[in-house]
Structure 1
Amino acid sequence: MSQSPPPVRHDVDLLIVGGGINGAGIARDAAGRGLSVALVEQDDLASHTSSASTKLIHGGLRYLEYGEFRLVREALIERERLWRMAPHIIWPLRFVLPQTNAPRPAWLVRLGLFIYDHLGGRKALPATRTVSLDRDPLGAGLKPGKAKAFVYSDCWVEDSRLVVLNARDAADRGAAVMTHTRLVEARRQGQGWIATIADAAGTRTISARGIVNAAGPWVADVIGRASEAARDKGAPRDKGAARDGGVRLVKGSHIVVPRLYEGDHAFLLQNPDRRVVFAIPYQGRFTLVGTTDLPWEGAPGRATIDEGEIAYLCETATRYFTRPTTPADIVWTYSGIRPLYDDQAANASAVTRDYVLDLDGGEDRAPLLSIFGGKITTYRKLAEHALRQLAPFFPQAGPAWTAGAVLPGGDMPDADFDAWLAGLAGRHPGLPETLLRRLARAYGTASEALLGTARTVDDLGRHFGADLYAREIDYLVEREWASSAEDILFRRSKLGLHVPAGAAAAVDAYLAGRPAATGRPALSIVS
Structure 2
Amino acid sequence: MSEPAWPAPPEGRCDLPAVLDTEIAIVGAGIHGAALARELTLRGIACALVDRGEVGGGTSQWSSQLLHGGIRYLLTGDIRQMREGLAERATWSRIAPRRCRWEAFWMPHRSWPEGLAHRLGIGLYDHWGAERPGWPPELRLGGVPPSTFQADPRSAGGPFRGATAYADLMTWDRELTRDLAASSEALRLDFHDVASFEDTAGELHRAVLRDRRDGATRRLSARRWVFALGPWTDGAMAGWFGEDRKRLRLSSGIHLWFDAVPGCERPWAIRRPKGRILFVIPRDGLLQVGTTEREVGDGWVPILEAEREELFDALAANLPAIPWRSLPLRAEELGVRPLVAASGLTTHLSREAVLERHARFGNLTLVLGGKLTTARALMDRLATGLTGRACPTSRTAPLRVWDGQPEGIR
TM-score range, shorter chain: 0.7 to 0.9
- SS at 2:333 equivalent: strand
Distance 2:191 2:268 in 1: 37
- SS at 1:193 equivalent: strand
Superposed CA offset, 1:301-338 (max 9, x none)? 5x532212211222222223311211763111011221
Superposed CA offset, 1:378-422 (max 9, x none)? 11101112113323xxx5x67453111101149xxxxxxxxxxxx
The question of 1:141 aligning with 2:154 is answered yes
**Aligned AA (2:406):** L
Distance 2:326 2:381 in 1: 43
**Aligned AA (1:279):** V
Q: TM-score, normalised by structure 1?
A: 0.66
Shift of the 406–369 alpha-carbon distance from structure 1 to 2, 3 Å rule, reads same
Q: Counterpart in 1 of 2:290?
A: 290
Distance 2:143 2:79 in 1: 24
Distance 2:383 2:131 in 1: 27
Q: Mean alpha-carbon deviation: is it higher for 398-407 or for 83-92?
A: 398-407
For structure 2, the 5+ residue unaligned runs are 1-18
**Aligned AA (2:93):** W
**Aligned AA (1:142):** S
Shift of the 198–98 alpha-carbon distance from structure 1 to 2, 3 Å rule, reads same
| Identical residues among aligned pairs (%) | 27
Q: Mean alpha-carbon deviation: is it higher for 367-376 or for 347-356?
A: 347-356
Match of 2:363 among 362, 367, 387: 367
Q: How does 1:111-510 map to 2 (within 5 A)?
A: 111-124=120-133, 125=135, 128-134=141-147, 136=149, 139-144=152-157, 145-170=159-184, 173=185, 175-190=186-201, 193-200=205-212, 201-225=215-239, 227=241, 244-284=245-285, 286-299=286-299, 303-321=301-319, 322-326=321-325, 329-344=328-343, 346-360=344-358, 366-391=362-387, 399-409=391-401, 439-442=406-409
- SS at 1:353 equivalent: coil
Q: Mean alpha-carbon deviation: is it higher for 84-93 or for 399-408?
A: 399-408
Distance 1:127 1:73 in 2: 21
Distance 1:329 1:186 in 2: 48
- SS at 2:226 equivalent: strand
Superposed displacement of residue 91, structure 1 = 1.0
Distance 2:53 2:346 in 1: 27
Q: Choose between structure 1 and 2 for higher RCO, CA contacts under 8 A separated by at least 6 residues.
A: 2
Distance 1:133 1:312 in 2: 30
- SS at 1:293 equivalent: strand
- In 2, are the aligned partners of 1:132 and 1:147 still within 8 Å (CA)? no
Distance 1:98 1:113 in 2: 12
- In 2, are the aligned partners of 1:114 and 1:128 still within 8 Å (CA)? no
For structure 1, the 5+ residue unaligned runs are 1-8, 231-242, 411-437, 443-493, 495-527
Match of 1:48 among 54, 58, 62: 58
- In 1, are the aligned partners of 2:231 and 2:338 still within 8 Å (CA)? yes
Distance 1:132 1:205 in 2: 63
Structure index of larger Rg: 1
Distance 1:33 1:139 in 2: 49
**Aligned AA (2:397):** A
**Aligned AA (2:358):** D
**Aligned AA (2:357):** L
Q: Counterpart in 2 of 1:68?
A: 78
Distance 2:326 2:217 in 1: 45
Superposed CA offset, 1:277-301 (max 9, x none)? 11001212x21000231111233x5
**Aligned AA (1:352):** S
Superposed displacement of residue 57, structure 1 = 1.0
Superposed CA offset, 1:435-457 (max 9, x none)? xxx93434xxxxxxxxxxxxxxx
Distance 2:204 2:187 in 1: 19
Distance 1:120 1:95 in 2: 14
Count of matched residue pairs: 381
- SS at 1:441 equivalent: coil
Superposed displacement of residue 123, structure 1 = 4.3
- SS at 2:384 equivalent: helix
Distance 1:38 1:225 in 2: 22
Superposed displacement of residue 133, structure 1 = 3.6
- In 2, are the aligned partners of 1:249 and 1:340 still within 8 Å (CA)? yes
**Aligned AA (2:128):** L
Superposed displacement of residue 211, structure 1 = 0.9
Distance 2:111 2:196 in 1: 52
Shift of the 21–138 alpha-carbon distance from structure 1 to 2, 3 Å rule, reads farther
Answer 1 or 2: which has greater strand percent. 2
Q: Superposition RMSD on alpha carbons, in Å?
A: 2.9
**Aligned AA (1:378):** T
Match of 2:40 among 30, 44, 59: 30
- SS at 2:103 equivalent: strand
Q: TM-score, normalised by structure 2?
A: 0.84
Distance 1:138 1:78 in 2: 34
Superposed displacement of residue 44, structure 1 = 2.0
- SS at 2:263 equivalent: coil
Superposed displacement of residue 80, structure 1 = 1.7
